[in-house]
């Protein structure tokens, strides 16, 4: 079953998380991990789409918030566009596609930080995606010029990828 992980990342943390999720999934699935800038315009034929990005201003990034990040990164950010734009442009799925979303955000209560994963999930469900798991967050600490993934989060992301793979196999079997 084909699995695609699409990530958006400004400072690199969400990319690390996405690649770890891909690693966890790859133990039992065929998986591609792509930057949202290079993501395909269609998703038919996929068994599972996993999409994630950084939380900006309590939700998914917008061009204005990405500009804010751009100014903090020497040499530019990792993604020029965002998952909000990419998911919004996806057509409705013609066949069943399972979906899961994740984000990176500051380690505080979700009502304080917001969550990009919750917004991304809404967009996917509107396009007939079927949720495989609740939205998941991975945590960052605020550094001087950027944010840094908290200890243990890369490993937790890999474990979450493995959990998705196990659920996917269960769903396919029954
Ligand atoms: C413009 C901007 C707005 C942000 N707003 C929030 C926010 O509302 N809530 C939060 O938890 N983190 C916020 N952050 C921190 C980001 O979530 C964090 O930088 C991101 O998870 C790091 O991922 P990345 O390295 O892949 O860009 C913001 C960061 C930027 C640059």
How far away, in angstroms, is 105 Cα from ligand 1 center?
6
What's the number of CA atoms in the CB half-sphere (13 Å) around residue 45? 5
Maximum separation of any 2 CA atoms in the chain, in Å: 49
CA-nearest residue, atom 29 of ligand 1? 56
What's the predicted TM-score (pTM) here?
0.96
- Our answer on whether the CB atom of 137 is closer than 6 Å to any ligand 1 atom is no
All structural domains of the chain, each given as residue ranges with its CATH number in brackets, are 2-173 (3.40.50.360)
Is the distance from CB of 106 to CB of 117 less than 8 angstroms? no
- Ligand 1 atom with the shortest distance to the CA of 65: 1
Q: How many CB atoms lie within 10 A of CB 65?
A: 17
Is the distance from CB of 140 to CB of 106 less than 8 angstroms? yes
pLDDT tens track, the chain, 174 positions: 799 999 999 999 999 999 999 999 998 899 999 999 999 999 988 999 999 999 999 999 999 999 888 888 776 778 999 999 999 999 999 888 999 999 999 999 999 999 999 999 999 999 999 999 999 999 999 877 678 999 999 999 999 999 999 999 998 877
């Amino acid at each position: 079953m084909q699995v695609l992980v699409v990530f958006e990342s400004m400072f690199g943390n969400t990319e690390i998380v996405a690649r770890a999720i891909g690693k966890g999934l790859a133990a039992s699935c065929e998986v591609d991990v792509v930057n949202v800038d290079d993501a395909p315009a269609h998703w038919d034929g996929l068994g599972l789409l996993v999409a994630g990005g950084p939380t900006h201003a309590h939700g998914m990034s917008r061009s204005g918030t990405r500009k804010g990040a751009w100014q903090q990164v020497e040499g530019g950010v990792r993604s020029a566009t965002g998952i909000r734009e990419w998911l919004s442009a996806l057509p409705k799925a013609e066949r069943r596609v399972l979906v899961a979303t994740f984000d990176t955000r500051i380690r505080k209560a979700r009502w304080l930080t917001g969550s990009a994963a919750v917004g991304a999930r809404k967009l996917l469900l509107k396009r007939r995606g079927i949720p495989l798991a609740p939205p998941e967050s991975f945590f960052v600490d605020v550094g001087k010029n950027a944010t840094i993934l908290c200890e243990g989060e890369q490993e937790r992301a890999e474990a979450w990828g493995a959990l998705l793979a196990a659920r996917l196999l269960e769903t396919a079997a029954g």
